[in-house]
Amino acid sequence: MIEDKNQERTSLSELGEFGLIDHLTKHFEIKQKSTIKSIGDDAAVLNFENKNVVVTTDLLVEGVHFDLSYMPLKHLGYKAVMVNLSDVYAMNASATQITVSIAVSNRFPLEALEELYRGIETAARLYNIDVVGGDTTSSNTGLLISVTAFGELKNDKVVYRSGAKPNDLLIVTGDLGGAYMGLQVLEREKEVYKVNPNSQPDLQPYTYIVERQLKPEARKDIVNLFDDLDLKPTAMIDISDGLSSEILHICKQSNVGCDLYENKIPLDPQVISVCEEFNIDSTTVALNGGEDYELLFTISQDDYPKIKANPNFTVIGFITEQEKGVHLVTRADTKIALKAQGWKNFNA
């Protein structure tokens, strides 16, 4: 479906490992004052003075986490960075550096890796982070990409999953389910393409959700907004697996229960209409879809005036005593226990 726009195919073996690293990383600029030594030595050197540092890592595997038949490499590079920055922001920290490790088979020409690194570079520029190192090795089959992100905490305002208290409000940023429905559309177009390679997919009606899948944005703006509002959430997590499992993580680690209101879950109109088209329940999609990379957090009710009427935030429920359990309150006003749908990567 994605055409091979690169006519040129330079074999990786022409450059050698060191030539390749050099070629891919020569455009990276250093922006953070905490970066003392970047790419080029045996290790990078970072100086965070007396600030606490957060570190997080993710591994993306071709065929498990992404499908190159509809994921352009540039988007993959961008998304691999976003997935990690989202985890940094979910700690209420600001992201400062990343390392990027890749394993590639010789089926990828240099031009493909240039595309991947264009996406990484774009993400690094827009989010003001330095790429300070990585590793490059060969793979016998698919592509693997692992990103590690570093971030610093302002005034030790770290937010864990474990701080939610009964009566706190449960809040989510943005809207949910778009990334999952975008994936459904892309999967469908892939099947159509397999049957008829001359078909031209019309993705125009699906622009928003396809973008949510292919080019997610980590919510750096929200961490800055918390700072401006002088608001410290009591607990926070990013939505990578779906609202349901993230709520359960907060509740388990905070030893609390929760009532989530179905009629409050924020959905984009395009998500609602595509759910109708696919005959899927939009609440199920929001609960279990994942990959939206929005932030889910709890605040004390005293802080409600700080977020009230801010279009970035939707109050979707409240925290209860642990004995009450974790429930979805449906539109019909019945209570259903929330279940985790995680570990989807291990399902057959």
Binding site for ligand ADP (CB under 6 A): 21, 25, 39-42, 100-102, 131, 133-136
**Binding partner selected for residue 25 from ligand ADP, Mg ion, none, CB under the kind-specific 5 to 8 Å limit:** ligand ADP
Please list the residues that pair with 84 across neighbouring strands.
Answer: none
**Binding partner selected for residue 134 from Mg ion, ligand ADP, none, CB under the kind-specific 5 to 8 Å limit:** ligand ADP
Q: Is the separation of the CB atoms in 44 and 38 below 8 Å?
A: yes
Sheet order of strands, 130-138 included: 53-61, 144-152, 94-104, 130-138
**Using CB under 5 A, which of the segments 15-23, 64-72, 129-137, 330-338 binds Mg ion?**
129-137
- Backbone dihedral region for residue 147 (phi beyond 0: left; psi -120 to 50: alpha; all else: beta): beta
Helix or strand or coil: residue 226? helix
Distance from C-alpha of 275 to C-alpha of 148, rounded to nearest angstrom: 35
Q: Compute the half-sphere exposure of residue 310: CA atoms within 13 Å on the CB side of its CA.
A: 18
Of 58 and 277, nearer to ligand ADP (C-beta) is: 58
Q: Is the separation of the CB atoms in 325 and 317 below 8 Å?
A: no
Instruction: Write down the least CB distance from residue 147 to ligand ADP, Å.
Output: 10
Chain centre to alpha carbon of residue 179 = 10
**Binding partner selected for residue 236 from ligand ADP, Mg ion, none, CB under the kind-specific 5 to 8 Å limit:** none
**Binding partner selected for residue 100 from Mg ion, ligand ADP, none, CB under the kind-specific 5 to 8 Å limit:** ligand ADP
Distance from C-alpha of 338 to C-alpha of 328, rounded to nearest angstrom: 6
Of 142 and 342, nearer to ligand ADP (C-beta) is: 142
The reply to whether 135 sits near Mg ion by the rule CB under 5 A is yes
Of 21 and 53, nearer to ligand ADP (C-beta) is: 21
Polymer length in residues for the chain: 348
Instruction: Write down the least CB distance from residue 135 to Mg ion, Å.
Output: 4
**Binding partner selected for residue 233 from Mg ion, ligand ADP, none, CB under the kind-specific 5 to 8 Å limit:** none
Instruction: Write down the least CB distance from residue 74 to ligand ADP, Å.
Output: 16
The residue number whose beta carbon is nearest to Mg ion equals 135
Chain positions contacting Mg ion, by CB under 5 A: 135
